[in-house]
Amino acid sequence: MNPKLLHPSSWTDYELIDSGDGEKLERFGKFVLIRPEPQAIWSKVLSNKDWTVHAHARFDREQKDRFRFTDEVKGGWKKIKPIPESWQVQYKYNHFNISLRLALTGFGHVGVFPEQGSNWNFIYDTLTSWKLPSARVLNLFAYTGAASVVARMAGAEVTHVDASRPGLNWANQNMQLNNLSDIRWVYEDAFKFVKREVKRGNKYNGIIMDPPPYGRGPEGEKWTLQEQLNELVRLSSALLERKNCFFILNMYAVGLSSLVGLNVAKTHFENVAFEWGEFYLKSKHNRDLPMGTFLRMSG
């Protein structure tokens, strides 16, 4: 199968207005933000004045290499117009509608990665098509839990693993916003958790992973994507049921081809047809923005 280019088509509360000169101009609900984007090396369509007129807040990142983010963030948000400490957006797709809490964070994130809408649709459609009494889903590096909320909404038992206490608290708020309950929260290094689950002999119908290029666990465990991804996928393949199953791998690491994820997965999953390629955000002004690679399968 050839690689695909996919963009989320169900958003009304999100819009990529423009991008260029290392930045992106985005609307989240009623609020417009300017944030750094190292892949946007082209020129903006709109003028700098137009960007500022639209924007409620701007995040500036102070670092020498503007084309590659590091784990040390210097800079912060500058509010241009009044904007609340937090607000909500809606994501609607066919038979589900989720609410997500957004806020301006010290890392320049806002609590959601909009391109993941395509994966949320896939998760919901896959789980609801099985008609199992209760599928089990494992979400690794699970951030603020949009995928966990979707899987729970589709009736799955969800285990949500993340090494950030604030991230877990945020995900819990998203669960409650959607009148859901009983997501299992695990504050732990994802790699360490998966190792233990293999030893326990546990199995899951679905595994979602969105590993960062680098990171730290609760006890200082070091995570490096290029050093540990192959072993993580090997271990995860041992956790996955062979029938009524799905697997999702997302990577946002500048310079890594979608073929990297495909080759890693092929190493550990035999006779499986994968859907793979790039996610992107469709721009109002014809400057579509690449947002990392994806690989997924269901069986």
Tokens 């009983």 locate to 182
Q: Specify the pLDDT at position 271.
A: 86
Q: Looking at the structure, do residues 74 and 34 belong to the same domain, yes or no?
A: yes
> 189-192 long-range CB contacts below 8 Å, 24 or more apart?
189/163, 189/217, 189/218, 189/219, 189/221, 189/223, 190/140, 190/141, 190/161, 190/162, 190/163, 190/217, 190/223, 190/232, 191/217, 191/221, 191/223, 191/228, 191/231, 191/232, 192/217, 192/221
Q: In the chain, how many domains are there?
A: 2
pLDDT in tens, 140-152: 999 999 999 999 9
Count of other CB atoms within 10 angstroms of residue 94 = 10
pLDDT band at 72 (very low <50, low <70, confident <90, very high): low
Residue 44 has pLDDT above 80, yes or no: yes
In a domain, 36, yes or no: yes
Q: Identify whether 163 is part of a domain.
A: yes
The enclosing domain of 51 has a CATH number of 2.60.40.1180
For residue 67, what pLDDT is reported? Answer: 46
Kindly tell me if the per-residue pLDDT of 1 is higher than 90: no
Does residue 94 belong to any structural domain of this protein?
A: no
Question: For helices 117-130 and 146-153, what crossing angle results, to 10°?
Answer: 20
In the predicted model, is pLDDT for residue 64 greater than 70?
no
Is 294 a residue whose pLDDT tops 80?
yes
Instruction: Report, as an integer, the average pLDDT of 28-34.
Output: 98
Of the pLDDT bands very low, low, confident and very high (cuts 50, 70, 90), residue 87 is: very high
**Per-residue pLDDT tens digits for 204-247:** 999 999 998 888 888 888 878 889 999 999 999 999 999 999 99
Read off the CATH number of the domain in which 208 is found: 3.40.50.150
Q: Rounded distance, CA 37 to CA 19, Å?
A: 8
Do 254 and 123 fall within a single domain? yes
Q: Same structural domain for residues 259 and 119?
A: yes
273: Cβ–Cβ under 8 A, 6 or more apart, which residues? 1, 297
The pLDDT of residue 10 is 86
Q: Are residues 166 and 269 in the same domain?
A: yes
Mean of pLDDT values over 161-170? 96
Q: Give the tokens for residue 153.
A: 């909404």
Please give the mean pLDDT across all residues of the chain: 93
What pTM, to 2 d.p., does this model score? 0.93
pLDDT given for residue 115 in this prediction: 96
pLDDT tens, residue by residue, 253-284: 767 899 999 999 999 998 899 999 999 999 98
How much is the pLDDT for 70? 52
Domain hosting residue 28, numbered range = 4-86
What is the rounded average pLDDT of the residues 38-52?
95
| Amino acid 283: pLDDT | 92
